[in-house]
Amino acid sequence: MNVRAALAEAAREVARRGLVTGTAGNVSLRNGNELLVTPTGRDLATVTESDIVTLDAEGRVLGGGKPTSEWQLHRAILAARPDLAAVVHTHSPHATAASALKRNIPAVHYMVVAAGGADIPCAPYATPGGEVLAAHAAAALAGRDACLLAHHGALAAGPTLAAAIALAVVVEDLARTWLTLLAVTPDPPSLGADDIAAMRTAWAAYRGSA
């Protein structure tokens, strides 16, 4: 499968998993010095290989139609993180609801380490589609592979499309768990630093053997 077809399939997979609804959300993939992104105004469930848009490093369209309005978000993240190759931006229901609290998702479950640390940070709100939001997102992903976007949704990134999608699913699940706990207590207990350190070691070993 070529990279354009792979990105289109990833977009459809994001929709199949219920992480986006209709035209909300977008997906990108680094391809050498170029950036492949999903198109604007298109239901991700229906994206095909011919819909994928190719951008250069400055965001100029090299092929395809009109890119997602959030292309700057994807470009900023991948420019700041050469270790990553794919970004998934979702409006999944629980992560989006959690983002309105403008708080980091704490370590209420050990799977928080899948994003690279002891929490899922929440980037400040900024108007969607602009450079300010892109900068906020890139900053939030320094040392993390996932974050919330306040009053907006969530981001998950990875070295592959599959890894980014899998992490987006984890973030949605963590958000659901956290919101459920907040309905019981305003201050849910979290794992301590030693527990997180041990889990990060275990997670690295697990990923290495997977």
Residue 198 CA to residue 205 CA, distance in Å, equals 11
In terms of Cα–Cα distance, which of 75, 165, 156, 169 is closest to 116? 156
Which one from 34, 49, 58, 70 is the annotated catalytic residue?
70
Is residue 92 a contact partner of residue 18, using CB atoms and an 8 Å limit? Answer: yes
Is residue 34 a contact partner of residue 59, using CB atoms and an 8 Å limit? Answer: no
Check if 49 is active-site: no
Residue 177 CA to residue 128 CA, distance in Å, equals 27
Position 210 scores a pLDDT of: 56
**13 CB contacts (<8 Å, ≥6 apart)?**
165
Q: Tell me the domains of the chain and their CATH numbers.
A: 3-209 (3.40.225.10)
Is residue 138 a contact partner of residue 187, using CB atoms and an 8 Å limit? Answer: no
Show the low-confidence residues of the chain (pLDDT under 50): none
Position 208 scores a pLDDT of: 81
Position 63 scores a pLDDT of: 87
Position 207 scores a pLDDT of: 83
Structure tokens at 92: 């999944």
Give me the helix-helix angle, 161-182 and 3-16, nearest 10°. Answer: 20
**149 CB contacts (<8 Å, ≥6 apart)?**
89, 99, 122, 123, 125, 133, 136, 137, 155
β partners of residue 156: 88, 146
Structure tokens at 124: 């400040």
